[in-house]
Structure 1
């Protein structure tokens, strides 16, 4: 799969630092995607949730300090909702803004979090499955 707008990661160690703060091991498929495509957007950018809703991904959240869509900002939002939603790790934004594609460490699921409804919808059983099932128009 091709990716656009990739920002070379400034410091690979920061990824592990952020995840260690949450006491969550980084799945290898997620870590390799972040390192290779930090801040980028996949060419195939559409996906469906379990409820049948089609969505368009935005960007892989960036671990660079000067980026517009940063991991740490998204994680702060989701940590405030941890008591309601459980622990979620944001991985990507969606094209409409404010919503996130997240990893749930408890079971490895990839979920879509809608910020307007605070609702979670299942996407895929793993990160690799999610990436493999992205499609274009």
Structure 2
């Protein structure tokens, strides 16, 4: 069993993780987790725990975890958006075919405000991209 354990364990928390070195090769033959660092994803900060110094191997393993974690979170974000689109479609169907007047009265203003806010942001971002892409194509034509 010990051979299949990873060298590091990352206890995920908001904006990062606590990093532990996994030790299963000790006298008592017990599994021990040695807290070696704290990681903050947004800033990319890796802070050794206590008075420890991290080896290049530790830093490489932590950076690999950061890269994988950021990719996982990005994939989750886009999946959440696809789910939100599905929920909007389901909500539309519910509003059209199954909602009572009381239920519609309860949620209509909130949904309309949220949709207006979302539409405003999407239109502004789309315009920004079109302007940026238009400037890029002008630069390409000038060359």
Q: Same fold (TM over 0.5)?
A: no
Structure with the higher helix share, 1 or 2: 2
TM-score under structure 1 length normalisation: 0.20
Which structure is higher in strand share? 1
**TM-score, structure 2 as length reference:** 0.19
- CA radius of gyration, larger in: 2
Q: Which has the higher contact order (CA 8 A, sep 6+)?
A: 1
